[in-house]
Structure 1
């Protein structure tokens, strides 16, 4: 029989604090990075040993995994294991912007091709992300547009969101909840000209598969007796696939899914681009003496890498080599393009990407007398919009400014002026729905929208000079509903070399170079 002292000593040994040192094969991701030309011998040795050390780490990780330990060798190279390096040296696709557009693009790429050697990296700036529609938008989903491509993109996104729990579910986790609030959108026409435009748009929507009702004034009054339609002739009302989503919940679900697929997110700032010269062509006839070499070199260079500065104290920018670059920076897409020389050069490079950050303000009001379950998400022809926020008689309202009003706004000032609600919004809300008379403001915020100052429509496509630089921005006035479809379309551009689901070729930079504007009279609100 063991003595009490022996038993107590064994118990204390079990309870003692134990540590394990990091093994040699686990330290490789913190090794020093050798830039090209810095130390050729050490750089060659690092490149030769890098893959072997990575395989060693994955082999050891597989041995300790209950699902992989029976055959760890098969998981050494082909397993979709997340790389733990702080910043990758190279990647196949580098996406600038970690919002809904960038994260959706990464999701569709990895969903299509789940190979860990096909790396997808997303660079995001948290300081800027917190002011975008991906974080602060009310998440409208509607198909009431006049352009067929926008209708089809919204229908695609609505179908995806209907099954988002299945698409974005992670193994052994509950399906994510993106808090869909089904509600129909209503648009109104006050005169014969607006009514004729609305009817033509309605026919286009029906042809594309949208479920939208075209209602006369008497039908509107019968269906929504608590609203005032004295100045209205006709209106349209969405019957299916319309509503509101929690954009933050959707973004979180997509990001978590992406990480399980091997997408790497980097917190940092894009400071510039690295170019590669492919050779100098013969002298152009329009160049003056002494300028030939410089202009020819600039004209022949191609994008090779992105200079990313990680978000940490004392860090400097480091190049990440890549084959494809996606400019999904939202309101700052034009700024990113300028860093690549687009809009700052000659010839094709003289045409800028006309995406600028524009301030938008949303007000949350509490109106106890308004029927929150029966009221539609309506938008007046004057730009005033209102939609239910939850079942507690709370509503989100605001105004889509005209171009003249937008030009007078100080977009660098993100403060909220509550007089804007009481002077410009509230009187129209009370006129449309008299029950809003007893409402009060409970919250408000300002955010940035990515607005195309050329024609207010998105820019989708490669730059004609750099065919590996793809711009995907300008969805500001249409909310986040286009992000899901846009990411799907880019994955088709990579793997199928063409748009398969929806052809959006006409929305690239060529229309801006040719000064050809498309018109969308009815806009969704943010």
Structure 2
């Protein structure tokens, strides 16, 4: 179904969500699903093709291998939601039954310092109910003989609810069902955010098409553009677009078993894609913020950096052919690489849903649910997401998450 390419139907909404990709769609759907919320919701999306949004460029994988319990719990809810999506969506028989292709994430440590991080993280994960296993180099070689593990000290993998899932299907059904329930999506762009006379609340937004639309609450779900949206309200948020480069390639000699999403010590990662193809990703050592519309590909990165690393780690990847390649953007939180969630302390009806730093797709069910709860009740009820509050930034109180890819 095509989204509207016109002005909103109304001049006032209870909630306006700026950005209709995975986070905005999740928040809108969870609002529509909450029996205690009876307000009107407008989602404003500048590009309803979603061609260049982070959601369209994702690995579409989830993991529980984080170093903080809260991030583990967030991914566990994602796994439950995906595996039971039809039930969550009211038993709607149109909704497909989904699963997780649990080939796992394989973290490889080539020094004792990082091995100790994996050991400490495993304790957190096991305490939260995850099934993470630590593996010696010999154990890795026995289970996955295609790896070169000559330099590896320790590996970490979880083969339960960790791997590929159909993020596109979840995204599509969140939008479809929320629209059927009355959420309004428009193709437009917020070009101004206007405060009330006292300056302590957002009163309205100005759209590119000229309309001024009043709102009760405003959600910033604009991905890598989060800082530009916040600046319209006179707020700073430390989120910027950083380029990430994926490649899909076909191996002349495909591996004889599933390839876990492998995080090489270099930072290059690669995973099973099916049919003898694989998807890998990386970025250059120089990793600056880029313009919001800069999707230019660095074609030298594959030959000079990524492919040599892959071929060293997995010698069967010495003979491969790239099938597609592109550049996408992380919504990169430069403060601590974790989500920024909830109200601004001085502008309480401006709500952040930002800064996911590459974790957004897998965190979208829990984060959308949490924001919908906050908008409805003024508190988180299912999972306490208050550690992600904005006030940790001026207080210089970062969340230390050691498992950032």
**1:330 matched to 2:223:** yes
**1:520 matched to 2:368:** no
Instruction: Label 1:139 to 1:177 Cα distance change in 2 as closer, same or farther (>3 A).
Output: same
- Aligned pair partner of 2:178 in 258, 269, 290: 258
Aligned residue for 2:16? Answer: 94
Pick the structure with greater CA Rg: 1
- Aligned pair partner of 2:325 in 444, 454, 466: 444
**Runs of 4+ that moved beyond 4 A:** 177-180, 408-412
Aligned residue for 2:26? Answer: 104
Q: Summarize the alignment of residues 454-473 of structure 1 with structure 2, pairs less than 5 Å apart.
A: 454-473=335-354
| Preserved contact between residue 372 and residue 393 of structure 1 (Cα < 8 Å) | no
Shift of 1:212: 1.0
RMSD: 2.3
Aligned residue for 1:375? Answer: 259
Query: How far apart, CA to CA, are the structure 1 residues paired with 2:256 and 2:225?
Result: 36
Q: RCO (CA 8 Å, sep 6+): is it higher in 1 or 2?
A: 2
| Preserved contact between residue 276 and residue 303 of structure 1 (Cα < 8 Å) | yes
Q: TM-score, normalised by structure 1?
A: 0.72
| Preserved contact between residue 372 and residue 388 of structure 1 (Cα < 8 Å) | no
Shift of 1:325: 0.8
Q: Summarize the alignment of residues 170-209 of structure 1 with structure 2, pairs less than 5 Å apart.
A: 171=92, 174-176=94-96, 180-209=100-129
Higher strand share: 2
Instruction: Label 1:307 to 1:491 Cα distance change in 2 as closer, same or farther (>3 A).
Output: same
Instruction: Label 1:100 to 1:522 Cα distance change in 2 as closer, same or farther (>3 A).
Output: same
| Preserved contact between residue 136 and residue 247 of structure 1 (Cα < 8 Å) | no
Partner SS state of residue 415, structure 1: coil
| Preserved contact between residue 361 and residue 398 of structure 1 (Cα < 8 Å) | yes
Q: Summarize the alignment of residues 118-157 of structure 1 with structure 2, pairs less than 5 Å apart.
A: 118-126=39-47, 129-157=50-78
**1:395 matched to 2:312:** no
| Preserved contact between residue 414 and residue 447 of structure 1 (Cα < 8 Å) | yes
Segment of structure 1 superposing worse, 367-376 or 408-417: 408-417
Q: What are the ranges of 5 or more consecutive residues in structure 1 without an aligned counterpart? A: 1-83, 279-299, 310-315, 343-351
Q: Summarize the alignment of residues 262-281 of structure 1 with structure 2, pairs less than 5 Å apart.
A: 262-278=182-198
Shift of 1:90: 1.1
Shift of 1:448: 1.7
Higher helix share: 1
Question: May I ask how many residue pairs the two structures share in their alignment?
Answer: 401
Query: How far apart, CA to CA, are the structure 1 residues paired with 2:400 and 2:284?
Result: 16
**1:231 matched to 2:114:** no
Q: What are the ranges of 5 or more consecutive residues in structure 2 without an aligned counterpart? A: 1-5
Shift of 1:255: 0.7
Query: How far apart, CA to CA, are the structure 2 residues paired with 1:175 and 1:508?
Result: 33
Shift of 1:407: 2.6
Shift of 1:264: 0.7
Shift of 1:486: 0.2
Query: How far apart, CA to CA, are the structure 2 residues paired with 1:112 and 1:141?
Result: 25
Query: How far apart, CA to CA, are the structure 2 residues paired with 1:193 and 1:124?
Result: 44
Q: TM-score, normalised by structure 2?
A: 0.93
